[in-house]
Chain A
Amino acid sequence: MNWHEYVAQTGQVPKWPYELGYDKETVISCDVLVVGGGVAGCRAAIAARQGGASVVVMDRGFSKRSGEGGAGVDHWHGAVTNPCSKVTPRMYSEAAMDTTDGFTNGLARYIIGKEGYDTLLEVEKMGVQIRDEDDEFKGSIFRDDETKLMFAYDIENKHCLRIYGYDIKPCVDREMRRLGAKVLDRTCVTSLLTEGGRQGARVIGATGVNDRTGEFVVVKAKAVVISAGRTNRLWGFAPELTESQSMCNLNQTALGNTIGWRAGAEFIGMEMSGRAVLSGLGYAPYSTGNNNNTYQGAPTVDRNGKDVYYANAYGKLLYDEADIFKASDEGSFIIGHGIGLDNGYKPQYRITTTDPELWKKVMAGEYQQPFYNDMTKLPATSRRMIFGLMLAHEGKCRVPIYKNFTQWGFDPDKDMLQYPVQDYSRFPIDTSWCGPENTPANWRGGGGGYLVDWRLQTSLPGLFAAGCGPIFGHGCHGESHTSGRYSGRQAALYAGQNDAVEPDAEQIRRERERCYAPIRTNGDVGWKELNYAIAKIMQDYCGDYKTEHTLDMGIRRMNDLFETEGQRMYASNPHELVRVIESLSLCELGIAYMEAAKARRGSVKGLGFFRNDYPEYDEAQKKHIPISLKDGKVHTRDLSLYYHLEAPYSSDLEENYQRYSQA
């Protein structure tokens, strides 16, 4: 029953069901603290435990299903060392750098290439099926009959694997708990503790608030891994409209980045902010006809049953199913899709997509809407692979799509699934369910993350980063496991070599005061009202139009909001209190984004970044601009896009990996 029904039927407002402990403080010590118990965090915790460290995991939700990967996954990128793969880690990293003109993370992509497959094999041991064990797809072009591995996107190079990942999160969660990681569920991290309480000093722990009891927790650690999520809620905020349709959720506030920003860590790529394609204003993920990503290879027909073809990156129509899963250039490979390379994709690395002339043909009357997925046209194994494997295992698909559709009688052997009727002249049909037409132009998505070294350590000693949100330019689900595992190992090594430091009592006191202000102030502004206002500022001052002056104004507006309405917040229970804390942190994060946009005095294609006062695309802008807070002031510097291959590092990827991947 929902709350409305309960109160209407009983005439009573339910009491808060958990004991309140706003004045309670728990102190825990450990070697490694992992902030964020999503797939990256669980993997970090497991690796750190395996490295002999004692581990505490702070999770905003409940780690069995939390995080963006908690709802499942159907394919695994970067498994380039699997026995069938023709792609090497070097090719993988270099292609990612090449296709983005250097605006991605060359070292993370290399680490992922080196360890992605091993990371997957461990998942298999934890109970996740990664092979066609029952020979259901025997003889299919997507399968290697010896290893029983199955391939997505590129059947010649075989480096991206289809997997049965709907239960991946329960499996890694179980393993993490089995190995003895202490999990603090329902705990929202609020700050990092630094040595002496100073900005820019070594990170020695973190603080958090429990969203059921309101209790304060202090975790002391020798090393901290940030593996929190990306940001939702910053430019776009309309939960009533978006949550059912979004791949992101309200727990995703990039708080893991905000606490690092406040602690003085360096960030790169924060100026990147593209149109919010996954705004949540469209349709539930994969709920409408589509031929992209999880649906790659699904045939499309128009209302008269006329075939719509795929085309390669050069617009050449493809008539054979196998050709859909081949690179457009001989000798190249399809790097993947949805792995954070959206400002790049040179043709030789691109996936195949719908006939680019489709809309012209619609206007000429050659095709008519609506379009449909007609999977009956596929060989039975291919059809089963899309609907039975991919759609049943991808995130947010098992229950909302597979279970729900079949319950209501959808049968891929007989039925065609309708695409949304939309004006596809404005966006490719491949993004149909994302609903770009349903999204305002000024809703945007932020990029960027911690600057990391070859150990995935940030610029702050003792602070490591893992996963999509914290690490700039790093990828998707499989990549998060891999960087989490690597980062956890490194954190354990660090903890083994460094002593614990007692946190600064004053820093903890100040943080407590900050966190509980909304309980004491008896204010009149709710977390949603504040969040709406934050989003409005970001839309206006960090949208399409950017100049030094307007960015300055945006920063001023955000500070103003923080200092006025932000001091008049209320929270009627711990759940609301934590949403308030998150919303206040979004003010800081928004400022960080605007500072980063200010710091880049130029426009860069590779970042999808445009400054109206520096409209020229400038070769000199092909660099990173790390940004951080020092004594409360913004500090920037220039850094080569290939810093990971420059001094003090070796110019060779493998040499660096060999030097830094172990103790």
Chain B
Amino acid sequence: MNWHEYAIRHGKLPEWPYEINYGRENVVESDVLVVGGGVAGCRAAIAALQQGASVAVAERGFTKRSGLGGAGVDHWHGAVTNPCSKITPEMYSDTAMQICDGYTNGLARYIIGKEGWDTLLELEEMGVQIRDEDDEFKDTMFRDEETKLLFAYDVDNKHCLRVYGNNIKPCLDTEMRRLGTDVYDRTCITALLTDGGKQGARVIGAMGINDRTGEFFIFKAKAVVIATGGGKRLGTFAPELTESQSMFHTNLTNMGHTIAWNAGAELVLMDQLFAGGIDAGYAPYSMGNADNTYQGAPTVDAKGTRVQHASAAGELLTEERQIFQSARPDTFVIGHGIGLGPTNTPDYNVSTLDHALNDKISSGELRLPLYNDFSLLDPKHRRLIWGLMLSHEGKTRVPIYETLSKWGFDPDKDMLQYAITNADMLSHRSSWAGLEHLPPNWLITAGGGGIVTDWRLQGSLPGMFAAGGFPLFGSGCHGEAQTTGRYAGRQAAWFAAEHDAVEPDRAQIEREKNELYAPVENEGGDVSWKELNYAIARVVQDYCGKYKTEEILDLGIKRLKDLRGAEGMRTYANNPHELGRLVECYRLIDLGICYMEAAKARKASSAILGFSRVDYPETDPPEWHCLLPISQLDGKTRVRKLPCDYYRRAPYSDVLSDNYDVYSAPAKMEV
């Protein structure tokens, strides 16, 4: 029953089911605090425990299924050291850097290359199936007969693996709890604690509230790993329209970015605020598609004419195998959906449908709707897409596999219709994302921006580590999140072993409490979290959109501060759940300011960053080809320039493996 049915049937309101104690303090002490219990956070916790640290995890939801990876996964990027792979960590990192003009995270990509496979093997021990153990796919080109590993995207280079990841999060969660992690579910972290309460000082814990009881939590820790999620709600907010169709959800507010920013940490690439999103179309993977999880699924038009695949170079492909090969013999398919944004060459891209698809639809040569026709595939290949990928990818087991099967969909017999949409839009690979349904000015924060770190994945603040696909800038997707989580957790444990605990500053705690609990003490409050969120999204859309100038960005910052000072002081929360949403809105305002400050800092336009400054129209001038770490000190924004390849310049070696060898070990082993 839903709430309305309850109220109608019983003629009364359900009472709030949890005891409310706004402001009651709980103090939790641990060596390592992990903020965010998604796949990266769970891996960080496990790794830190394995190094002997005591660990607390603060999680916005419930760790068993929370986070962007909590709903499953079907393929694992970066397992380049698996026994079948022809790719080395060096090739993997260098290629990512090369095709993005350096605007990604070379050190993280290297660490991922070095440890991604090991990270996956550990998962296998935790109970996740990563091989075709039952020989279901024997003798297919996607399988290695010896190891029984299955490959996605590139059957020649074999570095991206298909996995049976529907239960990946419960497995990780079980292991994390088994090892003795102290898990605080339903806890919304709102700030980091710093030494002396000062911006830019060592991070010594975090604070937050419980979304059922409203209680206040003070986490004291010697080291903190930020392993939170990506974001929506900043430049896009329309929950009634979008949630069923989104890969992102309402808990995703880039909170890790914001608390790091507020603590004075350096962030980079926060100037990437993309137009678009994947929110307004159709449920993920619910429509015919030829991309990602559906890679290799044959497509036909309304008359049954086959729509051919094309290599990244545009050459039409005649054999199925070619769909899973790179565009050139000397390159490899680096992957897809791994946060590389626009690239300067198609050579490493996945194959797609015919590049002339638009033209052929417009000219009438092909007729909509298009369909996936799985019956054209070898039965094993069909089973690999539908039975493996579609039943293990995030948000597909229940919404797609079980639901469609229950209603009789049979991939052996049935064709799945693509969305009917304008031909331009259809040529976008993820047709279910429904670009035509998106207002042009919706913005998403799922760019590569995040915390900039050293080779230990430590941010600019001592004791603060970053992990996962979002808080750690330019770091990839699901497998990458697990790998960086595991690495950062290890590093945090070592840091904790070397440093004493510091008592937090009481004044900082009081400031935070005063801010957080104002809405429940606000007698006259009449602004709901949704109203505030709508307004935040509007300001970000208008003032941080395609048209950017110094003055417009300044006005945008002013508008957000105005909202915080006016409507933000007139909010109400009927219960701790609403209070949690509301304090997320407060942090979204801080985050919006961070994005606008970052946009202000880059005084040039950039094609590869998709970044346009009307007052600095010159595109990618060499002096601006760099990262621009921004941070706050005493509330003032500071910017510096940092070479994109900073991780192979002094004090580091220019040899990736040397750096890895030095820093992937405990600090005391350092030379």
Contacts and interface: CB of A to CB of B under 8 A. Distances in A.
Instruction: Let me know if chains A and B touch directly in the complex, using CB atoms closer than 8 Å.
Output: yes
Interface of A: 4, 7-8, 11-13, 238, 240-241, 281, 303, 362-363, 365, 368-370, 420-423, 426, 437-442, 532, 539-541, 543-545, 547, 549-550, 553, 572, 612-613, 615
A239 B238 CA distance: 11
Interface string B540-571: 01110111010110010000000000000000
Contacts of A363: 614, 617
Nearest to B362: A612
The 9 closest A-B pairs by CB, nearest first: A544-B422, A442-B436, A423-B546, A437-B441, A540-B420, A421-B542, A441-B436, A438-B439, A440-B437
A365 B613 CA distance: 11
A370 B543 CA distance: 10
Contacts of B404: none
A612 B364 contact: yes
Interface stretch (B8-16, B194-202, B263-271): B8-16
A281 B438 CA distance: 12
Nearest to B363: A615
Nearest to A544: B422
A549 B441 contact: no
Given A240-B240, A303-B551, A547 B543 contact: no
Contacts of B421: 442, 540, 543-545
A252 to B, nearest CB: 20
Given A11-B13, A543-B436, A238 B549 contact: no
Contact of B422 (A12, A438, A442, A541): A442
A11 B240 contact: no
Contacts of A439: 439
A261 B221 CA distance: 70
B8 A553 contact: no
B236 to A, nearest CB: 11
A441 B441 CA distance: 11
B302 interface: yes
Contacts of A421: 542-543, 545, 547, 552, 555
Nearest to B541: A438
Interface string B183-215: 000000000000000000000000000000000
A302 B436 CA distance: 32
Contact of B439 (A440, A539, A613): A440
25 contacts: A11-B13, A13-B7, A13-B8, A13-B11, A238-B241, A365-B615, A369-B547, A369-B551, A421-B543, A421-B547, A421-B555, A422-B542, A437-B545, A440-B280, A440-B437, A440-B439, A441-B436, A442-B436, A532-B241, A543-B420, A543-B421, A544-B422, A572-B4, A613-B364, A615-B362
Contact of B13 (A13, A441, A572): A13
A545 B542 contact: no
A545 B240 CA distance: 26
A422 B302 CA distance: 39
Interface in B229-270: 238, 240-241
A553 B552 CA distance: 46
Interface in B499-538: 534
B549 A368 contact: yes
Contacts of A368: 549, 551, 615
A26 B534 CA distance: 45
B420 A550 contact: yes
A243 B596 CA distance: 30
B361 interface: yes
A566 B432 CA distance: 25
A550 B422 contact: no
Given A369-B549, A550-B368, 10 more contacts: A13-B8, A369-B552, A421-B552, A422-B441, A423-B546, A440-B438, A539-B437, A540-B421, A544-B422, A612-B362
Interface of B: 4, 7-8, 11-13, 238, 240-241, 280, 302, 361-364, 367-369, 419-423, 425, 436-441, 534, 541-543, 545-547, 549, 551-552, 555, 574, 614-615, 617
Given A238-B240, A442-B437, A612-B361, A11 B12 contact: yes
Given A281-B439, A543-B422, A423 B238 contact: no
A503 to B, nearest CB: 36
Contacts of A544: 421-422, 436
B527 to A, nearest CB: 13
Contacts of B240: 238, 240
A547 B368 contact: yes
A362 B614 contact: yes
A210 to B, nearest CB: 21
A426 B362 CA distance: 22
Nearest to A442: B436
Contact of A541 (B12, B420, B546, B574): B420
Contacts of B425: 441
B369 A420 contact: no
B405 to A, nearest CB: 19
A370 B552 contact: yes
A408 to B, nearest CB: 12
A247 B615 CA distance: 36
A363 B615 CA distance: 8
Given A13-B13, A547-B367, A550-B369, A423 B545 contact: yes
A155 to B, nearest CB: 35
B364 A441 contact: no
Contact of A8 (B302, B545, B574): B574
B364 A12 contact: no
Contacts of A8: 574
Nearest to A573: B8
Given A240-B240, A540-B419, A543-B422, A13 B12 contact: yes
The listed residue with most A CB atoms (<10 A of its CB), out of B369, B542, B549, is B542
